[in-house]
Structure 1
Amino acid sequence: MTDRHGIESRYAWLRLLASVGLGTIGGVGMWSIVVALPAVQAEFGVDRGGASLPYTATMVGLMTGTVLIGRLSDRFGLMRPAMLAVLLLASGYVATAFAPDITVFALLYGALIGLGGAAMFAPLIADISMWFAGRRGLAIGLVASGNYFAGTLWPPVVEHFITTAGWRATHIGIAGVLVVTMLPLLLVLRHRPPVQPEPAAVAAGQPVFGSRPLGL
């Protein structure tokens, strides 16, 4: 790894900006389901309990996907698992647009949108933490805020298009936006994290408190 792609290099800052953008755009899954639920509930004719099933499935998908994507990121770097996640997200939005009932809608949201959206929070935070030292807290805080930026950006946009075009057309439109905007941003993440220097005490074989989180 050259200095050009080292810790707190210009590339690290570019990667930080790309990660914030990915978190903001890719965080749509957690918010679109909330906005779409009233329209989906009305079309499928289910009660409030049945209408909440897609949200529950999405949260389960996010939980499961965070572990899976994190594992893949450790092995292959973040870019390839994140690209897979974007394809899952986009295909999930297209598939849900053709869902015939609330059960299929919920399963698709959990298995595709929830699973894909998981890459856009914790894995991004873990990745950016390896690119900063003195400003690590700032970098982590900014990437973590991507989800909240998504909560500011997406609900009014999704609500507008559901009102004007319907929830099915809106889901297809979201899929197109994700592919067009996120895949180019993911190319910024193609480099693997730089090797972190070990503290002198660790290099000498002495234990250092806090050098290994949770003792791992």
Structure 2
Amino acid sequence: MASASVSRESVSQSAVFPQGVPGWVPLLLGFLTAVGPISTDIYLPAFPAMEDTFHTDAGNVQMTLSIWFVGLAIGQLSVGPLSDRYGRRMPMLIGNLIYTVASAVCAFAPDILTFSIARFVASLGASASLVIPTACVRDMVPDRNAGAKMLSRLVMVMGVVPILAPMLGGLVVAVASWRVIFWASAAYGAICVLCVLFLLPETLPFQKRVALSPVTLVTRYLTLLRDRGFTSHAMVTGFSTFMQFSYLTAASFVFIKIFGFSPLHFSMLFGVFSVFMIGASQVNGILVGRIDSARLLQGAVIVSLLGGALLVAVVAWGKWYAGPAWRHDQVWLMIGAMLLTLAPTGIIFPNAMMGALADHPSLAGAAAALAGTMQYVMGALAGALLGMFPTTSALPMAGCMFFGTVMMLFVCALRPKALEPQSQESGAG
């Protein structure tokens, strides 16, 4: 069965790219996938300005981030199976059109309620770009290690735009209205529509598409959830997202309001964090194949856990024991601890995601969707949880980030020990 499955995958790949996957394909998929990260990151420096414009409190502005995550979670549950049924291109096209129009509505929203509704609709459209590129990788590259390497390249590309996004957002807030940010998001969505129309190939042949019905859909998801290999790896990505979104939700208030960073300086710091995450993903691309991907995942989780523990220690010491004179040193120690916590996600994501998809080639869209939904449900929980705390201390952010790393290590230990060898045998068959 494994050999037959791989044979069918090889036919699929040769039908799309007879000479092998060209180098521009990961660039294109990364650019499309970046719709989600850029829409999350670009308006973070604008949180305080939005709070003033809408005459609301910080918790309500933070809640728009949770609404965004909820929409991404719901959208992925639908768009993944749709891409297994109708192919990859059409759902991507429709999703990017929805995202473009809804982002334009966000740009002229008169109040926080209208903004939140438009943001939710935009997230439903953006969910297509989070699920389908990963499924395309699985379509084209069935081998787990090769897939993890290609995902590492995709992570690099999708990470470049989010580095620039908060810097652009911070610059916009410094010289113009935060609403310009969402006009820029709408323009990005329109470019993605053109890319899908003229550049994205269809990676799922008609003969490999599966029927779609409510019963089939539920059965498909239950099949995935009952698989220990899928669930454990998907939960690793979920708690990694919880940790990252704890940072995303609270960091702008922590660094801008507590430590006095300007929006532009905060966005530059955000870019530094992103550079380290991208660097880790490229290290992963070099090491995958030389070192077992399961071992790489385990090591990266442990490093992130150590960084989270150090972050909590630094923040707690600064809050309860150190005097005001220690404030400058505390900021730099916090930044160092956050780098140690966040950078390993560049290794964690590609290895955990390919581990989740490895044994389900015929359900790649549904598997990517369910894993993505777990991620953004956890992200929404992180945002909602942090929204309950006052923005007067970095401790809630540090505590939530550390909790995410602890849970990553816990679910990592639940992975089936025989998964990696089985996966390699299947790829060899």
Q: In structure 2, the residue corresponding to 1:106 is in which secondary structure?
A: helix
How far does the alpha carbon of each residue in 1:109-138 deviate from its partner, in whole angstroms, 9 at most, with x for none?
A: 1122x1122122232112211101452221
* Aligned match of 1:47: 57
Tell me the distance in 2 between the aligned counterparts of 1:132 and 1:174: 31
Between Structure 1 and Structure 2, how many residues are aligned?
200
Number of the residue aligned with 2:169: 158
Q: What is residue 20 of structure 2 aligned with on the other side?
A: 9
Partner residue, 1:173: 184
Q: Give RMSD over aligned pairs.
A: 2.9
Aligned to 2:323: none
Q: 1:63 to 1:50 in 2, by over 3 A?
A: same
> Deviation per CA, 1:15-64, whole angstroms, max 9, x where unpaired?
32210121235532111342332221110111111111211110101111
**TM-score w.r.t. length of structure 1:** 0.79
Deviation sequence 1:118-165 (CA, Å, 0-9, x none): 122232112211101452221123334555334312110122123222
Q: Is the 8 A contact 1:58 1:110 kept in 2?
A: yes
Look up the match of 2:138: 129
- Residue pair 2:16, 2:201 contacting (<8 A) in 1 also: no
Other-structure match for 1:86 = 96
Q: Is the 8 A contact 2:27 2:157 kept in 1?
A: no
Residues 84/214 of structure 1: CA separation in 2 closer, same or farther (3 Å cut): closer
The structure whose Rg is larger is 2
- Aligned-pair identity in percent equals 21
Distance of 1:53 and 1:213 partners within structure 2 = 35
Which residue is 1:142 aligned to?
153
* CA pair 153-119 structure 1, distance change in 2 beyond 3 A: farther
Equivalent position to 1:111, from 109, 112, 121: 121
Distance 1:143 1:157 in 2: 22
In 2, the alpha carbon distance for the partners of 1:115 and 1:193 equals 22
8 Å Cα contact 1:69-1:81 kept in structure 2: yes
Tell me by how many angstroms 1:73 deviates: 0.9
Structure 1 position 212, deviation (Å): 4.3
Q: Which amino acid aligns with 1:170?
A: I
Give the 3 Å change call, closer, same or farther, for CA 144–69 of structure 1 in structure 2.
farther
- 1:25-104 equivalences under 5 Å are 25-104=35-114
Question: Hey, what's the Cα distance between the residues in 2 that align with 1:27 and 1:117?
Answer: 10
The alpha-carbon deviation at position 215 of structure 1 amounts to 11
CA distance in 1, matches of 2:57, 2:119: 18
What amino acid sits opposite 1:118 in the alignment? S
Pair 1:2–1:173, CA change in 2 (3 A): closer
Note if contact 1:25-1:178 (Cα within 8 Å) is conserved in structure 2. yes
The CA distance in 2 between the partners of 1:92 and 1:119, in whole Å, is: 14
Shift of 1:176: 1.9
Q: Is 2:192 the partner of 1:182?
A: yes
C-alpha separation between the residues in 2 aligned to 1:2 and 1:190? 11
Q: Distance in 1 between matches of 2:152 and 2:15?
A: 24
More helix by share: 2
Query: Distance in 2 between the 1:8 and 1:130 partners?
Result: 15
From the superposition, tell whether residues 20 and 214 of structure 1 become closer, same or farther in structure 2 (CA, over 3 Å).
Answer: closer
Q: Considering Cα pairs closer than 8 Å and 6+ residues apart, tell me whether 1 or 2 has the greater RCO.
A: 1
